[in-house]
Structure 1
Amino acid sequence: MKQLAVASKRQLADVVVKNGKIVNVFTHEIMQADIAIADGKIVGIGAYDGHTVIDAKGKYVCPGLIDGHVHIESSMVTPSEFARVVVPHGVTTVITDPHEIANVAGTRGIEFMLNDSEHTPLDVYVMLPSCVPATAFEHAGATLHAEQLAPFFSHPRVLGLAEVMDYPSLLEGKQHMLAKLIAAMEANKLIDGHLAGLDETAVNVYRSANVHTDHECVTVDEALARVQRGMYVLIREGSVAKDLHKLLPAVHTYNARRFLFCTDDKHIDELVTEGSVDHHIRLAIQAGIEPITAIQMATLNAAECYRLYTKGAIAPGYDADFLLVEDLHSFSITHVFKKGALVAENGRVTCSVTKATSIDKTIIQSVHTKKITKENVQIPFTRGNQANVIQIIPNHLHTKRLITEVHVENGVFQPSIEQDLLKLVVVERHRGLGVGVGIVNGFQLKKGAIASSIAHDSHNIIATGTNDNDIIVAIEHVRKMNGGLVVVKNGDVLADLSLEIGGLMTVKNYEDVLQRLQSIHHALSTLGASDEFNPFITLAFLALPVIPELKLTDQGLFDVSSFQFIDVEV
């Protein structure tokens, strides 16, 4: 066997990395040695010769980074295009949950994500969506039961069942949820959790169901409660949920191996400018985490959590996925290698990326709404002017329930710029069903409206604005684009981005998307939007009825704490 022959020095290596400082994530030391590679695998650490020599020129050699939980759809580009963005940031492996596209297109959506990610310089592993729809409190485009998911477990890149977020069904032992858990366990697959706002009893319930991770911790106590019960905690730093600084105090010498990093949901512009989990590493080091520990969390910990036993380290038997880094504290990446071959240099991909050749037309034509009128978006008041209002928390997924007086004329709610109380509308877009209306505080818009077909997790059309006309124009424009983002003022479309793949992603390359997003950001400024948070990202999570406190779905205003619908009027 060639690898044994190279390891024993009876045969030259395919590639040898020389003059590098190896970051050893097993022993927390820096090693000076050659790295021998054969058939894309590391086979030796020591003194070796090879057919090709890579001169590391004194740089650090780190394992390729692993994002432990990401929804690629949230980048708004396809998996193949996503690879072009994150690989230069040192990410060579991701574990993705395609539940965004699955909520729109079911198994066809999962198949598209697998096919489009097949031939890229990024290893894309999949956790199958466990909750499609996420709950019974909104209408999605598909329903996935255990029998639809089971055939995917035989796919070599499917690792298990993704975030189980329907805690009531788990707690009550509902058959549809138990069937998915049992199917995963019988296939010897992993199960991810979603324990947003849940207490220690819930952790016990999830662990008893063989759930082994949670990425929804927002406090040290929550993180420790999960680690103490044998879970892995994924520290999230995405576009909305930024939990890293809050959770790092939970990490110490004795428990650090139970923590890893994830982005969960991150927009393409921030992925380009900040990076992926390489950004986590830099932030962690700045916060006082020892550099090799931070690197270990982004590599070996993630690999072992997801049973990727040939990834996450520079050692014999491991995949030759590695980075050259100028300085550990700034974690400045200059070169990225996959299976021993250069795939990115100085922030740019250097290899070809193959995309899916065809996309199912039902995924491209996924917006089916009825015509929206002013009558559809009215909020009647019959008893006074006190309302239940969704109060956003900038850069957080959670919201607050605000009870306040609102402006009412002729028995209907009127938005107030002075009170920062805007109208919020969710339009079911899969079968042309209902419309949910509510009131939101915190967007700070002074004019116009915005709308999007990204509305976690069922991805109906969601819009907010200062007046009904602009809201309706924005919703109609999203329909005409077959999904996307739009900014409207005085009835005119100021900027947009079409997301024709399931209303979530575009066929455009990421450079074009960045240009469109810049136009959208400029248009938002003309509406008076705050630059402290991204309004579209915040908007996208206001229809997610599994994260406290108040959310709005196509069926109405939902109190997550009590798991029931409530009236807008108090």
Structure 2
Amino acid sequence: MKVIEGNLVDIDNREFYPCAITISEGKIISIERNSNSYDHYISPGFIDAHVHIESSMLMPSEFSKLVIPNGTVGVVADPHEIANVLGVEGIEMMIKNGEETPLNIFWGIPSCVPATSLDKPGNILTVEDTETLAKTGRFTMLAEMMNIPGVLNNDSEVLAKLEMAKKYSLRIDGHAPGMKGDALSTYIAHGIETDHESSVLDEAEEKISKGMQIMIREGSAAKNYEALKSLIATRTDNVMFCTDDSHADDLLEKGHINYIVRKAVADSFGIFDVLQVACINPVHFYHLDVGTLHVGDKADFIVLEDLESFDIYSTYINGEEVYRKGRDYKLPASQIEVLNLFHHDEIKDTDICTDVQGDISCIKIIPDSIVTERKVLHFDQKSEHFQSDISSDILKIVYVNRYFNTPPQVGFISGIGIKRGAFASSISHDSHNIIAVGCTDTDIIVAINEVIKSKGGLVVNDGHKLYTLPLPVGGIMSDLSGEEVANRYTRLNKLLLEMGTSLNSPFMTLSFMALVVIPTLKIGEKGIFDVEKFGFV
């Protein structure tokens, strides 16, 4: 039995009061008001309502070591990325590793592997796979249904997965960027309940009015907080916070959900509204087994030094203090399986040699967004072996399927901004094939071949030297510590800044350039893909 004292943040009753919390066998057995004076606060812990742990490039055990000190006591995780590269075996690997951490991890069953029939991934999750996983009782939701055409056109497999979720009482997460009107109503009518892709306020308002829960996302690449923040006050019961995709360096330097909370309080939103969104709403919506500071609950909470900086003094999960400021933060060492599927041979300059003439559709990046625009390049005369136009910020982008020896696909992209060299990655949503951008064909080839030789990784070729962060676990995660990954990743981004990019997270931005379910132009198995026309250019 232990007693924790401080000023209780009572979100239900919207008040603070001094108290003593008694804990026994991992649960709160009493909360007693007193008349003592304390300089710290006890609050429910933070919940990330939608995250792909793989996007941190860390296994769950290492991910937890970065988020627990930030006051996160639970995450709702979609293992979509590992499922694309390693299938059910990858999901099982993630769950097993996650059991080695005190962090409450609630898993979803990926609904779209591959995301569309246009992808050619390393694995496929069938309806039968979905039911096999659902029967185990280990899953909280059917994760984001991003196959919008499949839903709207009543694709039999999509409908079967949605019915499977209902059969096993799983929540159904959505993925509906820009959807509105009758199409949105039809999408929601299939039982889809959440969305984390809203980027403008009226879009989110319509979705809420039609019954959806909205996640205000602030990740490493996609940042929707500024556009949606007013919902914290006006739609408090209908919103949650999530990061979706956050890299290790951001988790180490900026924080996790506490970073969004800090921003919201600084913007003068009411403290109880903010904490309801950050701590309570996900627990209630997903029926999570996480305590919210009530008698009988699991003792999951945080001790805060103040309610402005949200610096965490300590984090309790299941009654155990798993982090305290100033103490060495040690969790048991975890065993990491190195599973991989990489089968592409190295490529040559001639494989990406390109002649251009007439109008060429070019991907145009929107900073801090995974949505892109279209830029049309015009060539009056045929330009042989065209590589880039650095003065106009036109660079070559190359896509290589990592699972099959298919030919590379080539396009052009604006908004990256590098003036020399190239960079390449085996993280590209959703199938995680190799994607690279560079100034010359030779620079691109060298970077891509380094990824192939490493069987996954992030590579920067500054024109003279190669810098690599190997990702041997499925080609998307490291077997190193969170701090080491963060430091190496920071170094790569710094190099790209020196090479000319102004993007906040260039690798994260690059990773979404193959996500052919997000508007407007992307690159995929057969070249440049037009999402609006839903076909290759």
Structure-1-length-normalised TM-score: 0.91
1:325 aligns with 2:304: yes
CA positional deviation for 1:334: 1.2
Q: Deviations over 1:108-134 (max 9, x none)?
A: 110111000012020111111100001
Percent identity, please.
Answer: 38
Residue of structure 1 equivalent to 2:346: 371
1:250 to 215, 220, 231: 231
SS in structure 1 at match of 2:469: strand
Residue of structure 1 equivalent to 2:416: 443
Question: Equivalents in 2 of 1:469, 1:401: separation in Å?
Answer: 26
2:285 to 273, 293, 305: 305
Residue of structure 2 equivalent to 1:455: 428
Residue of structure 1 equivalent to 2:145: 164
CA positional deviation for 1:347: 7.1
Question: Equivalents in 2 of 1:81, 1:297: separation in Å?
Answer: 26
User: Which aligned pairs between 1:139-288 and structure 2 lie closer than 5 A?
Assistant: 139-253=120-234, 255-288=235-268
Structural RMSD (CA):
1.8
1:334 aligns with 2:313: yes
Question: Equivalents in 2 of 1:96, 1:196: separation in Å?
Answer: 20
What is the number of residues matched between the two proteins? 536
SS in structure 1 at match of 2:129: helix
2:29 to 43, 51, 54: 43
User: Which aligned pairs between 1:12-31 and structure 2 lie closer than 5 A?
Assistant: 14-18=1-5, 20-31=6-17
CA positional deviation for 1:332: 1.8
User: Which aligned pairs between 1:502-541 and structure 2 lie closer than 5 A?
Assistant: 502-530=474-502, 532-541=503-512
Residue of structure 1 equivalent to 2:20: 34
Question: Equivalents in 2 of 1:471, 1:276: separation in Å?
Answer: 34
Contact 1:159 1:189 in 2 (8 A): yes
User: Which aligned pairs between 1:384-533 and structure 2 lie closer than 5 A?
Assistant: 384-405=357-378, 410-490=383-463, 492-530=464-502, 532-533=503-504
Question: Equivalents in 1 of 2:379, 2:371: separation in Å?
Answer: 22
Q: More displaced, 190-199 or 404-413?
A: 404-413
Residue of structure 2 equivalent to 1:6: none
Residue of structure 2 equivalent to 1:355: 334
SS in structure 1 at match of 2:151: helix
CA positional deviation for 1:522: 3.5
CA positional deviation for 1:536: 1.0
Structure 1 letter corresponding to 2:259? H
SS in structure 2 at match of 1:304: helix
Seen in structure 2, the aligned counterparts of structure 1 residues 469 and 302 have a Cα distance that, compared at 3 Å, is same
Contact 2:7 2:38 in 1 (8 A): no
CA positional deviation for 1:312: 5.2
Contact 1:197 1:547 in 2 (8 A): no
SS in structure 1 at match of 2:113: coil
Contact 2:87 2:125 in 1 (8 A): yes
Contact 1:165 1:195 in 2 (8 A): yes
Q: Deviations over 1:462-497 (max 9, x none)?
A: 00000000100100000011100011133x433110
Structure 1 letter corresponding to 2:519? P
Structure 1 letter corresponding to 2:324? E
CA positional deviation for 1:404: 2.6
Seen in structure 2, the aligned counterparts of structure 1 residues 558 and 327 have a Cα distance that, compared at 3 Å, is same
User: Which aligned pairs between 1:88-103 and structure 2 lie closer than 5 A?
Assistant: 88-103=69-84
Contact 1:407 1:415 in 2 (8 A): no
SS in structure 2 at match of 1:311: coil
Contact 2:17 2:33 in 1 (8 A): no
Structure-2-length-normalised TM-score: 0.96
CA positional deviation for 1:56: 9.8
Contact 2:252 2:483 in 1 (8 A): no
Question: Equivalents in 1 of 2:409, 2:119: separation in Å?
Answer: 10
Q: Deviations over 1:152-208 (max 9, x none)?
A: 223444112100000100111111111111111111111100001111323312321
1:544 to 512, 515, 535: 515
CA positional deviation for 1:348: 6.5
Question: Equivalents in 1 of 2:460, 2:295: separation in Å?
Answer: 53
Question: Equivalents in 2 of 1:212, 1:106: separation in Å?
Answer: 25
Q: More displaced, 519-528 or 447-456?
A: 519-528
Seen in structure 2, the aligned counterparts of structure 1 residues 79 and 159 have a Cα distance that, compared at 3 Å, is same
CA positional deviation for 1:29: 1.1
SS in structure 2 at match of 1:298: helix
Question: Equivalents in 1 of 2:441, 2:337: separation in Å?
Answer: 39
CA positional deviation for 1:413: 2.7
Residue of structure 1 equivalent to 2:64: 83
Contact 1:28 1:293 in 2 (8 A): no
Structure 2 letter corresponding to 1:441? S
Q: More displaced, 414-423 or 322-331?
A: 322-331
CA positional deviation for 1:521: 2.6
Question: Equivalents in 1 of 2:327, 2:506: separation in Å?
Answer: 29
SS in structure 2 at match of 1:252: helix
Q: Deviations over 1:283-340 (max 9, x none)?
A: 11122211121111111101111111x4352111221111111111222211111122
Structure 2 letter corresponding to 1:15? K
SS in structure 1 at match of 2:479: coil
Seen in structure 2, the aligned counterparts of structure 1 residues 525 and 350 have a Cα distance that, compared at 3 Å, is closer
